[in-house]
Amino acid sequence: MPTTRHTMLDLTIDHHTLTVPLDWSDSTDGRTIDIHAAVVTRSGGEALPHLVFLQGGPGHEAPHPFHSPTQPAWLDAALAEYRVVLLDQRGTGRSTPVSDSDLERGSDVLAEYITHLRADAIVRDCEAMREHLGAQTWSVLGQSFGGFTTLAYLTTDAASLADVYITGGLSAVGRHPDDVYSLTYDKMRAESERYYRRFPGHRDAMRRLVDRAAAGRLVLEDGEVVSVSRLRSLGTLLGSNDEWQTLWSLLEADPATNAFRHDLGAALPFSVRNPLYYVFHESSYADGHATRWSADRVEPEDFRTDPTLLTGEHARREWLDTVPGLRPWRDVTLALAEHEWPQLYDAAAIAASGARGATAVYVNDVYVPFEFAMETAALVPGVKPWITTEHEHNGLRAGDVLSRLTDLARGRRLR
């Protein structure tokens, strides 16, 4: 039974909370955490099968099912065919969230705790929630990191999955994180140059901002003195359908104004709202490796010499010193960068999973490289790829991507 229920117009939202082991691999460990999921049902859909949504990240909670412009664009399409399970992945939302207060445990203790929050553990949580809901099987929609988690699901528990939908989340399987980050720099180089060809004057505008940052003259409302590497991470705005407009607005603005400082702070990635996103971000690509600041180590020479080349999801070690909200996480983050992460995927098991469904593969994805995504797609031929330049990495939020995937999976004519 749900712990609470509420309605929102034609939607019923049942909240379920389970207590599960922190360490699924050690029955003697004894530590537990709570896992929360909101099950969303449209009126008349009470008998529909379940679809669990796995959010991007790592370190982000599931979205809220609001009837408003902030409602996920895919939710209406999903509710036409499913009851949607919005799972707060462990460490986020209402699933025993990790926050600054946890730093009181001590850095070594907290770092060890965070090693239990990866995709393989999220899969075990999903299985516990599926059994709790009484579903023999359910379908999954994995966005970005949620797609990585879906691949882990196919490695260990594919029999529990009916339809598999992945959007921008076909992670590299069996590759070193250095391979991935090297390729994402190539993607960001291409996107930077494409942007400057479109708005030629903005390269000089970026140079002027770089000069201000190098002189310590870009200071945010929270006191952060924005470093050059932090400024360049605005390139994450080029990885979505329309956030390039935010970059355009910043490069047209007067950097001496309060409005610019506010808007710059809001646009920078790896905010301290969800510290996990930064603290163990590189671990999401660690399929049996320690990361050791991969993005820093493989930065190409032209990126080191040309600060107008923008970067994407490249977490920088120096931000532990320059970003006020990240400084308290220094020792935890350094410890996790040295952690030898166990292998997450089994290519043979994924290939033998018999998975059926569809996946959106974005040709211009700057976060999940197309080349490696297609390697992984070859492991699951029953998950039909929709290869598109129509959307960027956030296509699920921006359009009718899920409708197209359900049509593709079921052999219906694409809309």
- What HEC string does the chain produce? CCCEEEEECCEEEEEEEEEEECCCCCCCCCCEEEEEEEEEEECCCCCCCEEEEECCCCCCCCCCCCCCCCCCCCHHHHHCCCEEEEEECCCCCCCCCCCHHHHHHCHHHHHHHHCCCCHHHHHHHHHHHHHHHCCCCEEEEEECHHHHHHHHHHHHCHHHEEEEEEECCCCCCCCCHHHHHHHHHHHHHHHHHHHHHHCCHHHHHHHHHHHHHHCCCCECCCCCECCHHHHHHHHHHHHCCCCHHHHHHHHHCCCCCHHHHHHHHHHCCCCCCCHHHHHCCHHHHCCCCCCCCHHHHCCCHHHHHCCCCCCCCCCCCCHHHHCCCCHHHHHHHHHHHHCCCCCCCCHHHHHCCCCEEEEEEECCCCCCCHHHHHHHHCCCCCEEEEEECCCCCCHHHHCCHHHHHHHHHCCCCCC
Task: Say if residues 350 and 127 touch (Cβ distance below 8 Å).
Answer: no
Q: What is the pLDDT of residue 10?
A: 86
Q: What is the dihedral of CA 4, 277, 184, 388, to 10 degrees?
A: 10
Q: What is the pLDDT of residue 69?
A: 58
Q: What is the pLDDT of residue 2?
A: 64
Residue 1: pLDDT over 70 = no
Q: What is the pLDDT of residue 68?
A: 60
Residues 6+ apart with CB under 8 A from 8: 65, 66, 67
Average pLDDT for 369-393: 96
Residue 124: pLDDT over 80 = yes
Q: What is the pLDDT of residue 271?
A: 84
| CA 194 to the chain's CA centroid | 24
**Torsion sign across C-alpha atoms 325, 327, 328, 334:** positive
* Fold of domain 4-173+343-409: Rossmann fold (3.40.50)
Of the candidates 77, 378, 20, 363, the one whose C-alpha atom is nearest the C-alpha of residue 194 is 363
* pLDDT band per the 50, 70, 90 thresholds, residue 73: confident
Q: What is the pLDDT of residue 398?
A: 76
Q: Which residue has the higher pLDDT, 127 or 74?
A: 127
Q: Hunting for tokens 């899920």 — which residue is that?
A: 402
Q: What pTM value is reported for the model?
A: 0.95
Residue 351: pLDDT over 90 = yes
pLDDT tens across 241-287, in order?
999 999 999 999 999 999 999 999 999 999 888 999 999 999 999 99
* pLDDT band per the 50, 70, 90 thresholds, residue 7: confident
Average pLDDT for 17-24: 97
Q: Hunting for tokens 């050690």 — which residue is that?
A: 26
Q: What average pLDDT does the chain have?
A: 95
pLDDT tens across 58-68, in order?
999 999 886 56
CATH 3.40.50.1820 spans which residues of the chain?
4-173+343-409
Residue 51: pLDDT over 60 = yes
Of the candidates 232, 189, 200, 195, the one whose C-alpha atom is nearest the C-alpha of residue 213 is 232
pLDDT tens across 140-194, in order?
999 999 999 999 999 999 999 999 999 999 999 999 999 999 999 999 999 999 9
* pLDDT band per the 50, 70, 90 thresholds, residue 70: low
Residue 21: pLDDT over 80 = yes
- Report cis status (omega within 30 of 0) of the bond before 369: no
Q: What is the pLDDT of residue 415?
A: 56
How far is Cα 128 from Cα 50, in angstroms, rounded to an integer?
Answer: 14
pLDDT tens across 400-409, in order?
899 999 999 9
